Amino acid sequence: MADPKGFLNHGREVARTRPVEERTKDWNEVYVPGSLLPIISKQASRCMDCGIPFCHNGCPLGNLIPEWNDYAYREDWGAASERLHATNNFPEFTGRLCPAPCESACVLGINQPPVTIKNVEVSIIDKAWETGDVAPQIPERLSGKTVAVVGSGPAGLAAAQQLTRAGHTVAVYERADRIGGLLRYGIPEFKMEKRHINRRIEQMRAEGTKFRTGVEIGRDMPATALRKRYDAVVLAVGATTARDLPVPGRELKGIHQAMEYLPLANKVQEGDYVAPPISAEGKHVVVIGGGDTGADCVGTAHRQGAASVTQLEIMPRPGEERNPVSQPWPTFPMLYKVTSAHEEGGERVYSVSTTHFEGDEDGNVQWLHLTEVEFVDGRPTPKPGSERKIPAQLVTLAMGFTGTDRDNGMVEQFGLDLDERGNIARDADFQTNVPGVFVAGDAGRGQSLIVWAIAEGRSAARGCDRFLTGASELPAPIRPTDRALMV
Ligand SMILES: Cc1cc2nc3c(=O)[nH]c(=O)nc-3n(C[C@H](O)[C@H](O)[C@H](O)COP(=O)(O)OP(=O)(O)OC[C@H]3O[C@@H](n4cnc5c(N)ncnc54)[C@H](O)[C@@H]3O)c2cc1C
Ligand code: SF4
């Protein structure tokens, strides 16, 4: 156990962010660089090393949180990093981006602010990179088996790293021009600088994983050819089909899916464009959708110099405190969140629904018409007389994703079964109905989180390893149906 009195002596302190006026002028991460280490050992000392560590249950990866809290308290960063990597291939991604269901489940959270588990995690891994503790783990012997991983988001990368380390020869196929999936082109630089992905890819290359970008399976290479070429396939193609808003005026110029808008801003940071082809500069921006994707559009629009930013959400504003009846500890509660993007400005409007868009004579969107709604029998119902219009010269749709891409023919060419929600169906070993073809991440689970994608990638790798060799020593943190303590 860290310090038996740590939680009595120290309050919760979290990573400091840079002043809004400074950080909205650049694209670097919002945190004060290196701000954490001086406080982190004290924060880790608040961990009570619970007999039943609920944090561990709240985390889909089953992270060994009390163990690395203890090492962080003792400033044994090497041992802390070893424990962290025992369950998580990429703690620098989750340490920056995870909504931290572990903290919602922390026992200290029953009557005090929980341990800052996420900040401890990111401090351990940043220190490990700094001190050279993150070395390639090259397999001692090769199995002679080959695996294709399709998709290079967190699920694909986790599966590829596990399978490479198990001795298989692994190639990752990615249709985009760079590796990383939504980590690369969805999540903005100010939430996670892309150097963190590049560093991991170098580690993976050194371990033997091969990467092929610009190849879309189904379109550029038939799925059948891929299956013939490799002994097994892991599909980690995400749930990239975005939900649309088919209201009058949707065809106007200036209305884009969030995933048409955000990648271009990231490509500017990669040096592909001098200025983004879709920009919020000088425009009244409306973001439809109140979730994380919407918040990323808000932060991006601020940095591009929007005249105003309004985020719309059809659901009512959530409460700021956990409801002990409907969302009791240790479940992951739906609370009103103020992300770094929201701290930077803009307005959030709840319980509203878009009725139509209005444009100018050149076909550019100018106004968004909305109505307030109330939920009657579980359905959003317009409130009579509440219609109004707001200026909207750039609209981004961030209303979630409906499933895996069906346009490139991959699903049909493999002959894959889908489940009732349109995701690729799989058995308890993450194997699809096609023998030797596995699925992990959003493609099988539906739109979810990075931590689930990594957990799925690790678990599918075990299923795949068993298929190839008859047994596996790789860990499988979850089963396809697991929901842990999260919604
Ligand atoms: C804007 C945005 C912000 C988000 N922010 C967060 C956050 O802060 N925290 C969090 O936990 N989660 C966040 N999420 C969710 C998280 O990013 C996803 O749950 C996660 O990336 C899913 O990982 P994945 O590997 O399953 O799929 P993805 O990351 O979607 O990767 C799938 C990859 O497969 C490739 N691909 C698809 N089809 C083919 C094909 N036929 N051939 C070759 N390649 C193919 C795609 O190009 C893509 O690169 C966010 C999502 C979005 C959209
Ligand atoms: S639940 Fe909280 S206090 Fe208990 S072991 Fe986990 S992090 Fe420590």
Q: What is the pLDDT of residue 486?
A: 53
pLDDT in tens, 114-126: 999 999 999 999 9
Check pLDDT > 60 for residue 485. Answer: no
Give mean pLDDT, residues 381-396: 98
pLDDT in tens, 20-74: 999 999 999 999 987 777 789 999 999 999 999 999 889 999 999 999 999 999 9
Q: What is the pLDDT of residue 481?
A: 85
Residue nearest to atom 15 of ligand 1 (CA): 449
pTM: 0.97
Residue nearest to atom 1 of ligand 2 (CA): 106
Q: Confidence band (pLDDT; 50, 70, 90) for 479?
A: confident
Give mean pLDDT, residues 384-399: 98
Residue 426 sits at φ, ψ, to 5 deg, of -150, 160
**Closest ligand to 109 CA?**
2
Enumerate residues lining ligand 2, CB below 6 A: 47-50, 53-55, 65-66, 69, 106-108, 115, 117
Q: What is the pLDDT of residue 37?
A: 73
Q: What is the DSSP string of 342-403?
A: HHT--EEE-SEEEEEEEE-TTSBEEEEEEEEEEEETTEEEEPTT--EEEE-SEEEE---EEE
* 442 Cα to the center of ligand 1, angstroms: 7
Residue 155 sits at φ, ψ, to 5 deg, of -70, -45
Residue nearest to atom 4 of ligand 2 (CA): 50
Joined tokens for residue 475: 């860990």
Q: What is the pLDDT of residue 38?
A: 75
Give mean pLDDT, residues 393-403: 97
Check pLDDT > 60 for residue 170. Answer: yes
pLDDT in tens, 145-159: 999 999 999 999 999
CB count within 10 Å of CB 353 equals 19
Check pLDDT > 70 for residue 446. Answer: yes
- Which CATH fold topology does 146-240+402-469 show? FAD/NAD(P)-binding domain (3.50.50)
Q: 6-131 in CATH: which number?
A: 1.10.1060.10
Q: What is the pLDDT of residue 484?
A: 60
* 303 Cα to the center of ligand 2, angstroms: 37
Biggest distance spanned by C-alpha atoms of the chain: 71
Q: For the purposes of burial, counting CB atoms within 10 Å of the CB of 342, is it exposed (0-12), middle (13-18) or buried (19 or more)?
A: middle
Q: How far, in Å, are 237, 422, 432 from residue 418 at the CA level?
A: 14, 5, 9
Written in H, E and C, the secondary structure of 26-75 is: CCCCCECCCCCHHHHHHHHCCCCCCCCCHHHHHCCCCCCHHHHHHHHHCC
* 117 Cα to the center of ligand 2, angstroms: 9
* 50 Cα to the center of ligand 2, angstroms: 6
What sign does the CA torsion over 107, 113, 114, 115 have? negative
Cα separation, 401 vs 406, whole angstroms: 13
Q: Confidence band (pLDDT; 50, 70, 90) for 487?
A: very low
Percent of the chain with pLDDT over 70: 99
- Which amino acid makes up residue 431? Q
Cβ pair 428, 389 in contact under 8 A: no
Domain boundaries, the chain: 6-131, 146-240+402-469, 246-399
Among 137, 203, 138, 143, residue whose Cα is nearest residue 167: 143
Helix (H) or strand (E) holding 113: none
Residue 480: asked if its preceding bond is cis (omega within 30°), the reply is no
* 470 Cα to the center of ligand 1, angstroms: 30
Identify the CATH class of 246-399: alpha beta
Q: What is the pLDDT of residue 477?
A: 87
Cα separation, 350 vs 317, whole angstroms: 6
pLDDT in tens, 306-327: 999 999 999 999 999 999 899 9
Q: Which residues pair with 210 in a beta bridge?
A: 171
Q: What is the pLDDT of residue 148?
A: 98
Q: Which atom of ligand 2 is nearest to the CA of 48?
A: 3
Mean pLDDT of the chain: 96
**Closest ligand to 405 CA?**
1
Give mean pLDDT, residues 70-97: 97
* 463 Cα to the center of ligand 2, angstroms: 31
Percent of the chain with pLDDT over 90: 94
Please check whether the two domains, 6-131 and 246-399, share a CATH topology.
no
Q: What is the pLDDT of residue 3?
A: 84
